[in-house]
Amino acid sequence: MMNRVNIGLGIVNVLIISLLIAWFLNSRDRMVYVDSNKLVNGYKGMQDAKKAYQQKATQWKANVDTLTSELQAAIMKYEKEVGTMTPKEKSLSQELLRQKQKQLGEFQQAMNTKAQQEDGQMTTQVITQINAYLKKYGKKKGYRIIFAATDYGNIAYAEDDMDITEEVLEGLNSEYQGK
């Protein structure tokens, strides 16, 4: 009788271990990761967004440069004519220069704020596109979870065959170019 119990427990143990091994092997195939930096930087949508942002930034810089040049020209003109000005003209010219400097500073600050906002919006839009694609991709492939590896080491180690970055990037770019 004791042998039957031991044999029964042995069979149950073997079944449990077999189920755990099967679950582990099945789960392992359903857990993958992507290299988030590689994915974001390789995504054509991000590359296009960066180009569009860079064009705007170039225009903003040109506007700041124009205002800076105008201020410098006004300062040079003042320095050239200061010796022939009356005290009242000198005072008015100095006030005008202070106002131009203030306007330039305010404009630069506004452009910096706008640049930060646009950069944040651009990044948010791209990340939203990537996350939507990853969700769709994960469901299609039957993954239970897709981790994202970052420079900060959220994933300390994973086998190379668990990295699906290239496959995701290819699909993401194909979908983007199809729009």
The whole-number pLDDT of residue 22 equals: 47
pLDDT mean across residues, the chain: 85
Highest mean pLDDT among 18-32, 85-99, 148-162: 85-99
Say how far apart CA 99 and CA 24 lie, in whole Å. 71
DSSP state of 163: B
137-160 confidence digits (pLDDT tens): 998 988 888 888 887 767 756 777
The whole-number pLDDT of residue 159 equals: 73
Q: Determine contact, residues 164/34, Cβ cutoff 8 Å.
A: yes
CB neighbour list of residue 71: distance below 8 Å, 6 or more residues apart: 97, 100, 101, 104
What is the average per-residue pLDDT within 96-100? 95
Q: Is 133 exposed, middle or buried (0-12, 13-18, 19+ CB in 10 A)?
A: buried
- Amino acid symbol at 127: I
What is the average per-residue pLDDT within 37-41? 92
44-59 confidence digits (pLDDT tens): 999 999 999 999 999 9
The whole-number pLDDT of residue 145 equals: 86
Residue with the bigger pLDDT between 9 and 134: it is 134
